[in-house]
Each structure stands twice: as structure tokens, then as C-alpha cells.
Amino acid sequence: MRRQYILLFILLFVISAIPLFLHEQANLVLARNLASVVLFPVKMTTRFLEYLTISNVRIETLEIQVNQLKLENASLRDKLNLDTTRLESTEHTLLKASVVGRDPLNINGYLYIDKGIEHAVSQNQPVISIDGFVGRVKHAGPVSSIVETIENKGFAASAIDVNTSIHGIIRRQTSLMFDYIRHTDSINVGDSILTSGMSELFPKGILIGTVQRISESDDLFFKQVHVAPATQINRLVSVYIILGEHETSTSGNP
């Protein structure tokens, strides 16, 4: 073992002594080559981190575009059903916020996000995710806010079955229910339930969920429609706040 140490010492000594016997130009070439080898891992790590940063920015931009397109498509679907000569395009402004906390007593009922009044957030603004409806801003603080989600018991929003145009109220009870659906109303398992736009709070066309199960009840007028939410609240790490909308006319009178 001691002999190996001696050989290693001699080898390192010889390598370190080589520059003493080389002229200045050769020393520069040797130093440049050694630097490129030593710094190679650092360069690769830096490039990888730059790639991750650019990728995250692109992903966030694409998510915003997808949500905007969903809202615009819902608006266009609505306009196709209207007999009108004046069409308008609606552009929704979205703000991404990170989920920084949850109510320990109601783990999915309320979310704490890292955006507030300083970021143009205000009470009752709609909150969505890449998958669909989340809830509304319950309280807006200076730099953070509280979001009441669809998982909170008692939460309610006006909704519509997109396949049959049946209107009702989506409400959290023991599970998510599509309420005030009469026994004679045509509604089927698998139907998509969207915000109806009849509420001043939520734009029309945000996906809430799909009909999971329909059961008869003791109620003389209404049946029970169970809905599977589109968004899994307990998996959210970020959400999008709909700050407002800007409308511009795209056509005039005929």
C-alpha cells in the first residue's frame, strides 16, 4: 500500500513539474485544455439549469394559453346559439398563483395562495386550474389570499348540462351534487357540467365535472345527480385567477 502512495506521489509530481520545462505558449495551451476538462461539469450543470428555467417559463405560458382558449371557446359556443348581428370577442386576464397552504380543519375546502391585492386580486374573483373549476377568492390580503373551493360544504354555483342544456345548481353536500334536476329532465351519466354564466361571479363554460351517478330520491320533484369534479383539489400546487375581461367589438351593424 505504501508503494502505491509513493508511485502516486511521483506521478503527481511529474505532472505538476511539466509546465516548468515548457515554454510560455505551451503552458497556455496546456492550461486551456486542463481548464476545459475541469470546467466541463460546471458548464453542463449551468446549461441544464438554464434549460429547466426556460422549460418552466414555456410550460406556464402554455398553461395560460390553454385556459384562455377554454374560456374563449365557451364564449364562442354561447354566441353560436344566439341570434345576433353584433359579435364580440372576450379576452380573460389570468394570473397564476401558487398554493402555499391549506386549512387544517377543512383540508380541501380552503386554499391559501401567494397572490393578493398588490397583484390585482379581489374578493369573489373566479379561480380555475388547467383541468377546470376550482372556486372563488374568499378573502384577498395584501400579498396573499384565501380561495374557497368547490370542496367546501355549502359551496354553490349556477351550472348547466352541456349535452342537454338542463340548468341547475352545483353544490357540495356530502358529495358534489347537481341540484334541482327534475325527475323528467333528460340527463345522463357522463354528461359534462359547466358553469352556466347566470351568476355574476363565474364566466360561462368552465368545466366543473361530469355526471357520475343518478339516483331517484324521496323528493317529489327532483332526483339526485352526483358529479365527479374535474379538478382534484388535493393535488393542486398552482391555480389561475380570472382577474377580469376585456371586450372589443369585432363587427358592426349589417
Segment 100-118, tens digit of pLDDT: 999 888 888 999 999 999 9
Cα torsion angle, 205, 209, 213, 216, sign: negative
Domain ranges, ordered by start, for the chain: 1-89, 156-230
Cell representation of residue 240: 389561475
Is the model's pTM score more than 0.75?
Answer: no
Residue whose entry in the numeric block shows the C-alpha cell 500500500: 1
- What does the pLDDT read at residue 186? 87
What number of CA atoms fall less than 13 Å from residue 206's CA on the CB side?
A: 31
State the maximum Cα–Cα separation within the chain, in Å, rounded to a whole number.
103
Cell representation of residue 108: 380541501
Distance separating alpha carbons of residues 139 and 116, to the nearest angstrom: 9
Phi-psi label, residue 187: left if phi above 0, alpha if psi -120 to 50, beta otherwise: beta
**Which amino acid, 48?**
F
Confirm if 110 and 152 have CB atoms less than 8 A apart: yes
Distance separating alpha carbons of residues 195 and 161, to the nearest angstrom: 9
Distance separating alpha carbons of residues 72 and 76, to the nearest angstrom: 6
Distance separating alpha carbons of residues 176 and 193, to the nearest angstrom: 11
- What does the pLDDT read at residue 41? 66
Confirm if 196 and 156 have CB atoms less than 8 A apart: no
Distance separating alpha carbons of residues 117 and 144, to the nearest angstrom: 8
Distance separating alpha carbons of residues 75 and 5, to the nearest angstrom: 77
Residue by residue, pLDDT tens for the chain (254 residues) are 566 667 666 665 556 555 555 555 555 555 566 556 555 566 667 666 666 666 676 777 777 767 666 666 655 555 444 443 343 445 678 899 999 999 888 888 999 999 999 999 999 999 999 889 999 999 999 999 999 999 998 899 999 999 899 999 999 988 899 999 998 898 999 999 999 988 778 988 899 999 999 987 778 889 999 999 999 999 999 999 998 764 333 333 33
- What does the pLDDT read at residue 181? 92
CATH of region 156-230: 2.40.10.350
Query: In this structure, how many other beta carbons lie within 10 angstroms of the beta carbon of residue 68?
Result: 17
